[in-house]
Chain A
Amino acid sequence: MSNLALIATLLVMMALAYHLGLTRSRAVAAEHDVRMHSRPGYYGVLVALWCGLPALAIFLLWSFLAPQLIDMLVTQQLPADMVAGLSDRELQTLLRRVTALANGQGVAGGGSPEELAAAGHMARLQTIENFSLVALMAVLVVVGLIFARRRISPNWRARNQVERVIMFALAASSAVAIFTTIGIVLSMLGEALRFFSFISPAEFFFGTVWNPRFSTAGSASQGEFGLLPLLWGTMMVSTIALLVAIPVGLMTAIYMAEYAPPWLRNVAKPVIEILAGIPTIVYGFFALIVVGPFLSSAGDLIGINIRTTSALTAGLVMGIMIIPFVSSLSDDIITQVPKSLRDGALGLGATKSETIRQVVLPAALPGIVGAFLLAASRAIGETMIVVLAAGNNPVLHANPFEAVSTITVTIVNQLTGDMDFASPQSLVAFALGLTLFVITLGLNVIALVVVRKYRQQYE
């Protein structure tokens, strides 16, 4: 039976169990002429859970363990002289060929007699495995169903048990977020450590030359992996972006929160929200096709040589991208400043702009700084705009009109196409990713702490 059919059958059985539990609990109530502890539906659900959950658990465990067990048994059965002297990798290839043969697919060059024998053995084992799984699950389903159904009595606290299962499921799903973080940290650390076995951390973090070369097997030349040019490019592009986004975003937020008539607010807010929803690849394309050529020809007019793909192009467009981010965060924070502060200043005769500049903004400053930090972390982690518009030129220089490269661009360049995680050329992506993660995490943590402090101040 295929896995899908198995699960479908299980679901049907659970539905049946629900119905049996439901009717049984009603029958028990009528028989003893008492009120049951829980409503009938809970008995139904509980019986269904008893019927389905153990079988499901076995199914998951089995699908995880059985293939490994079968591989082990087949390997043992292979002639000793065939297995001897095989590396892990070759053994894997051999097993894959045998598996393909066992599933009735052809393999390159046909199978040797030994392979065919092993495939026959594997096919037998698979049949046994499949049969025993179905049998075991069937037993568990039936036993669970009968057991739970017989336990139905007025005192059985079905609701509490069902709720305990629900609570467990809810808690388990909130653990997914934790596991994601752990997964990110562990995978990056693991691969980054492997990278540092090729290149020393000092060379990576303080190197000023980025020239990874191509990964050629067995070549002695390692290439140079200096982080600094990339970090510098990242900082340059993000700074330009923030120089665009902060003034425009902050003034937009102030105008929207303090001056704008309601109709303008109702129109402008969604429009700027649209800006936040546009995919970054679109911004990248916009930078490449419209902004780059425009800047280049504008530079020609005033006699500066601006490249089409440069730090300036990428920074400007990235700035446009984070305007809504800055403005909506600042807007929230400005509107949270208590009205009493404004009224006090206005009552003393301050004009509106004086109130904003001398009372509202200082009061909102920590929150706004937090917003800027979040914007900066977003600019640093942004990928597609710089991939398309920054020009990929990992050299240390201070000219914003020249092409640069950033951490994110390099991650994409080093890891696309080649999925062989053995060379430093692709492993470096994880070291870069780890650096990126640490930088943005630091910015986020500071920003969140600042914003939280600020919120408490006025709550």
Chain B
Amino acid sequence: MSISIEQRRQHRLMTIEKSLAKRHRKENAFRRMGLLAVVTGMTLVAILFISILMRGVPAFWQATFYMDVYFDPEVVQLEPKPERESGESQFAFNERYSQWLTRAGLVNWQTLIDNALEEALGEEVEPRQLRDLRALVTSGERYALRDRFVEDPSLLGQTVELKMLASANVDVWIKGNIDRDLPDARQQLSAQTRTWADQLEEQGVIRNAFSTSLFLNTDSRSSLASAGLAGAFMGSLFMMVVVIGLSVPLGVSSAIYLEEFAPKNRLTDLIEININNLAAVPSIVFGLLGASIFIGYLRLPLSAPLVGGLVLTLMTLPTIIIATRASLRSIPPSIRQAALGIGASRVQTVFHHVLPLALPGILTGSILGVAQALGETAPLLLIGMNAFVANVPGTPLDQSTALPVQIYLWQGNELRNFFEARTSAAIIVLLGLMLSLNALAIWLRKKFETRW
């Protein structure tokens, strides 16, 4: 009898032993799966960032000519810049000045660049090769030359070393972003231009210099190499000003009302559900709202940062309300009770005691909301912010694009070899801005975090 019990015990122990090994194996497998998921997530982040950085960082440097440009008086046949004479009215002077400007615009500035290139190449270029020669320097530089001269007419007859951007195709060629062995028919540049580019690079005339044009210029269609982000940046800035100015005050006061004062009834319940739903409405729906109400009904101008800002305000409002409410809720009731107990009114309690304590959380939530708005593209496409704009907007009512929309426009450009890198560079700028906003929010949270 006792043996049988002992045997059964042994048997049971053995089964447990066996199943235990299996269960532990399963445990390990499960844990590894979890780790794998985390590693997958982090790897994806890494791949995304590395691939964007690898493509984008080289675009911050551009092939640039360092050439001596001679402001040849034979080419620049222009009388001295008008000075305002005594007794001359402002109007008459302006008239005279603008006539002078028009004549300055008619000067063939391209010839100066051609001559400088010939000088650098050390050879006489035949007229039929002029086309090939002019493919070297981007077409915007002749206007830059004009502007420089208008600024300082004493350059006449002088030789100055100037930096000039190479054309987009030369940049692609020099950087090796196009297969150098492709047959002539499939190359963007003629054989002659390519030979010259290589020669000039060897001579050190073409160097890879940091591209200030990416930051200082606006978008351009004729001179692709000098297309920059300045206009889009200002557009985004105006929109963010509108978003911060409207959505933060509105969102915070709305959250205060709902969290601290609103009676619990069906109406406030409805508002609450409504806000949670709005937070999950696809952003493009807000774009449709903007197109129909702001553009179609209120007749606000197309492509204006003001309208973009209003649409983004409505979009970020729920985010800010939810973050502010969470922040207010985390303030312990004892604070409120203490204030009420010594005779403060409810408004005083909230504004003098609860709100200051909740401020870090509100700030963090608002920054995150604004960062989200900064990166939003889809609704802006529907209110016409994808128009080509060649000026830096001066007011929120001027036509403009925004940083993410500029990325969208550039990725669609036909000159893929050049704009793939340019777009990645723009993405790096946008991500840099957004990540610094996010980092600021995290830092604020860490610095002011209070545990009650």
Contacts and interface: CB of A to CB of B under 8 A. Distances in A.
A and B: real partners?
A: yes
B194 to A, nearest CB: 26
Contact of A374 (B41, B273, B275, B280): B280
Contacts of A353: 26-27, 30-31
Interface string B216-253: 00000000000000000000000000000000011101
Given A248-B40, A275-B41, A285-B411, A191 B292 contact: yes
Contact of B253 (A170, A188, A250, A256): A170
Given A281-B377, A412-B381, A180 B23 contact: no
A342 interface: no
A416 B292 contact: no
A336 B295 CA distance: 46
Given A354-B23, A415-B382, A448-B277, A184 B289 contact: yes
Given A170-B257, A277-B438, A282 B430 contact: yes
Given A173-B254, A187-B288, A421-B292, A416 B386 contact: yes
Interface residues of B, number: 91
Given A167-B347, A430-B288, A441 B274 contact: no
A279 B404 contact: yes
A280 interface: yes
Contacts of B261: 167, 170-171
Q: Give the size range of A's interface with the partner.
A: 35 or more
A341 interface: no
B283 A381 contact: yes
Contacts of B24: 351
B55 to A, nearest CB: 7
Given A170-B257, A381-B284, A288 B411 contact: yes
A383 interface: yes
A291 to B, nearest CB: 9
A166 B254 CA distance: 12
Interface stretch (B44-52, B88-96, B146-154): B44-52
A444 B277 contact: yes
Contacts of B44: 275, 320, 323
B75 to A, nearest CB: 37
B392 interface: no
B427 interface: yes
Given A163-B347, A170-B253, A285-B407, A248 B37 contact: yes
Interface in A12-46: none
A282 B431 contact: yes
Interface string A267-305: 010111111011111111110111000000000000000
B271 A177 contact: yes
A433 B285 contact: yes
B375 interface: yes
Interface stretch (B1-9, B200-208, B313-321, B330-338): B313-321
A408 B282 contact: yes
B408 interface: yes
A377 B386 contact: no
A335 B36 CA distance: 20
Contacts of B312: none
A437 B286 CA distance: 10
Interface in B20-64: 23-24, 26-27, 30-31, 33-38, 40-42, 44-45, 47-48, 51-52, 55
Contacts of B321: 174, 177
Contacts of A167: 257, 261, 347
A284 B256 CA distance: 37
A392 interface: no
Contact of A285 (B278, B368, B427): B427
Contacts of A191: 292
A101 interface: no
A100 interface: no
Contact of B442 (A181, A190, A270, A382): A270
Interface string B277-319: 1101111111111011101110000100000000000100110
Interface string B345-385: 11100000000000000000000100110111110011010
B27 A268 contact: no
Interface string A212-255: 00000000000000000000000000000000000111111011
Contact of B293 (A183, A268, A327): A183
A383 B282 contact: yes
A357 B34 CA distance: 13
B354 to A, nearest CB: 13
B347 A181 contact: no
B277 A441 contact: yes
B168 interface: no
Given A173-B254, A187-B293, A416 B382 contact: yes
Contact of B45 (A275, A412, A416, A437): A275
A378 B257 contact: no
A241 B91 CA distance: 65
A281 B375 contact: yes
A419 interface: yes
B389 interface: no
B166 interface: no
A388 interface: yes
Contacts of B430: 279, 282
B317 A180 contact: yes
Interface in B252-269: 253-258, 261-262
A111 B293 CA distance: 32
Nearest to A449: B273
Nearest to A412: B381
B434 interface: yes
A436 interface: yes
Contacts of B251: 173
Contacts of B314: 180
18 contacts: A170-B256, A173-B250, A173-B254, A174-B258, A180-B289, A274-B438, A278-B431, A289-B55, A323-B44, A354-B27, A356-B30, A381-B282, A384-B408, A408-B284, A411-B287, A419-B291, A444-B277, A448-B276
Closest 7 CB pairs of A and B: A381-B282, A279-B375, A255-B34, A251-B37, A353-B30, A170-B257, A174-B254
